[in-house]
A and B are shown apart, each in its own frame.
Chain A
Amino acid sequence: DIQMTQSPSSLSASVGDRVTVTCRASQDISRYLNWYQKKPGEAPKLLIYTASSLHSGVPSRFSGSGSGTEFTLTITSLQSEDFATYYCQQSHSPPQTFGQGTSVEVK
């Protein structure tokens, strides 16, 4: 099975900050990498698919990059509604595992 490892596990940031989250796969997954945002009590929301494609309706301050085994989610100017937990997921092959999550908290 493919293991997904995110870093950091948590970070503290302020509104307006640039935030970067990294996700590493245990083997080459090409660009089959998705990013989700999860808030307490809400369903997850798809942000980015195939590593860098912005899902419909997602603000352009979110972007993704990478291929192979290393991927990055960037929020260029953090907004108050962006404080949440972010998960990567590989969809290269089942089981389509998630990373452990990165909590973005208020500084």
Chain B
Amino acid sequence: EVQLLESGGDLVQPGGSLRLSCAASGFTFNNFAMSWVRQAPGKGLEWVSIVHSGGRITYYADSVKGRFIISRDNSKNTLYLQMNSLRVDDTAVYYCAKWQLAGAYYGLDVWGQGTAVTVSS
């Protein structure tokens, strides 16, 4: 069964750091680009970041650029999101998701269950 399982969400103070993980199973992880998407309370979906299959090419939303780092360990089938300088408006459920086709961006077809990040003093 194709599955993504996020972990690492927590309550953190403004200015703090947190690392999210996403363990993948049931597919050839190193063939697919991966993304993080978040949803703040009462808000819509916000695309956060993407990492290409090899891990060298990454992109970020302007709202997190310079503060978040996406990475992957293909030997461990795991995706990461290092979040630094956290702000109150980073409070959200964070989802990891897989792009549908190797080498193409035809939709995010597999999603994790989400992990909650709360930034508050």
Contact = CB atoms under 8 A, between A and B. Distances in A.
B45 interface: yes
B107 A46 contact: yes
A76 to B, nearest CB: 21
Contacts of A44: 37, 45, 95, 97, 108, 111
Interface range on chain B (Cβ under 8 Å from partner): 20 to 34
Contact of B100 (A43, A46, A96): A46
Interface stretch (A16-24, A65-73, A87-95): A87-95
Interface string B36-80: 010100001111001000000001111000000000000000000
A85 B111 CA distance: 16
B106 A89 contact: no
Contact of A43 (B60, B105, B106, B113): B113
Contacts of B45: 36, 38, 44, 87, 89, 98, 101
A44 B112 CA distance: 9
A100 B44 contact: yes
B108 A101 contact: no
Interface of A: 1, 32, 34, 36, 38, 43-46, 48-50, 53, 55, 85, 87, 89, 91, 94-101
